[in-house]
Amino acid sequence: MDIDKDVEASVQRALIEKVRRHTGIAMNERKWTMLKGRLRRRVMALGLPDYRDYLQVLDASSEEVRDFIDLVTTNETSFFRTPRIWEYFAQSYLPQWHAAHAGTPLRIWSAAASSGEEAWTTAMLCEEFRASEPAFRYAVVGTDISDGILASARSGRYQGRNIEGLRASHPALLQKWFRSEGAQATVNDALRAHVSFRQHNLYALPRDLGQFDLVLLRNVLIYFDLDGQHAVLSNVRRAMKPDAVLIVGESESLSRVSTGFTFEQPLIYRNGRPREERDHEHA
C-alpha cells in the first residue's frame, strides 16, 4: 500500500491548516513533502489507508491531536546556544537586575523550551551568580506546546551531541551541575529545585504563568507568519513585568512587527520605552 501516491491537494491543504490551527505554525503547499514525511509513519502505525482517513481521526480524538503536535513541531536546541546571549545574561543582565531588585526573586520564562537545554543553561548561570550573591533568588519556567518533548526536558537526562557540546564548551559546569552516568549525564537536584516545566501553546493567553522579568523566546518566531508573530508577541508581553527583557533568536527581529517592545541591542528588547528615555528620566 502506497499511502503517499496521489494525495489530493484538498487533503494537503487541510493538514497544513491543522498545523496552523493547533500550533500557530504557518506552512504552505511547498512544505507538504516535509509534513508528509513527519506524518507518514503515524498514519501507517494506525493502519490507515490514506491521509484523508487520518484527518478524520485527528478531528475525532484529542489524544491524536497531542501526537500530531509532537510530530509537526521542530525541537532543536543545545546548551549555551548563541554564546553572546549567555555572556550578556551572566555579565550584564544578572548583576544589573540584582542591584535594582535586591530581595525580589527573579522569574525567567523559557518560552519555547523544547528538550530543556535552554532552561537548564539559565539555571546553571543563575547558580553561578548566586555563589557570589547568596541573597539572590530565582525561578525558571520552561514551556513548550509538545507534551512529548517536555517529558525529555523534565527528565534532565542528556547524551550524544548536546552533552558532548557542553563537555567541550563548559566542562567545569558539566562536572559541577550534572551527574555523569557513562555516556549520559543528568542535571542534579540543585538545579531541579529552581526549574519547572509545563505545557503551553504560545498562541494562547498565558493565564496561569504569572509575571516574568526575563523571557527567552528564541528561534520560534521564524515559524510564524507576520500575523502569527504579532499574536505570539502580544500574548508573551501579557506575562512580562513592566521593563522586562525579551531575548529572541539569532535569525529573528521585531522590526517588522508592531509591538510594545523597544530595541536594546541585537536580539534583546525591552518591554516599554526606549533606553534613552529611561536614562534621561533618571539623570
* 6 HSE (CA, 13 A, CB side): 1
More confident residue, 173 or 225: 173
Q: How is residue 255 annotated by DSSP?
A: T
The least confident of 16-20, 87-91, 142-146 is: 16-20
Q: Which of 71-75, 88-92, 180-184, 229-233 has the highest mean pLDDT?
A: 88-92
Q: How far apart are CA 19 and CA 26, in angstroms?
A: 8
159-170 burial: b if 16+ Cβ within 10 Å, else e: eeebbebbbeeb
CA-to-CA distance for 201 and 195, rounded, in angstroms?
19
Rounded to an integer, the average pLDDT of 120-147 is: 96
What's the mean pLDDT in 103-122?
Answer: 96
High-pLDDT (> 70) share of the chain, % = 93
| Whether the predicted pLDDT of 78 surpasses 60 | yes
Residue 1 cell numbers, joined:
500500500
pLDDT mean over 160-175: 92
What pLDDT is attached to residue 4? 63
pLDDT at residue 113 in the model: 94
pLDDT band at 2 (very low <50, low <70, confident <90, very high): low
- Given a cut of 70, whether residue 154 has pLDDT beyond it is yes
| Whole-angstrom distance, CA of residue 254 vs CA of residue 261 | 8
Query: How far apart, in whole angstroms, are the C-alpha atoms of residue 259 and residue 221?
Result: 14
> What is the maximum alpha-carbon separation in the chain?
73
Top-confidence residue, 214 or 16: 214
* Domains defined along the chain, listed by start: 9-72 (1.10.155.10), 83-282 (3.40.50.150)
Q: Is the pLDDT score of 275 beyond 70?
A: no
Residues 20-69: pLDDT tens digits?
Answer: 888 877 777 777 888 888 888 888 888 888 888 988 998 888 888 888 88
Q: pLDDT tens-digit profile of 133-143?
A: 999 999 999 99
Q: What is the mean pLDDT of residues 190-217?
A: 95
Q: What is the pLDDT of residue 276?
A: 45
pLDDT at 3: 64
Mean pLDDT of all residues in 257-264: 85
User: Which range, of 28-37, 180-189, 194-203, 240-249, averages the lowest pLDDT?
Assistant: 28-37
Percent of the residues in the chain that have a pLDDT greater than 90, as a whole number: 53
User: Does the pLDDT of residue 238 top 70, yes or no?
Assistant: yes
- Give CA–CA dist 234/119, Å, rounded: 22
Rounded Cα distance between 119 and 145, Å, is 15
70 or 113, which is more confident? 113
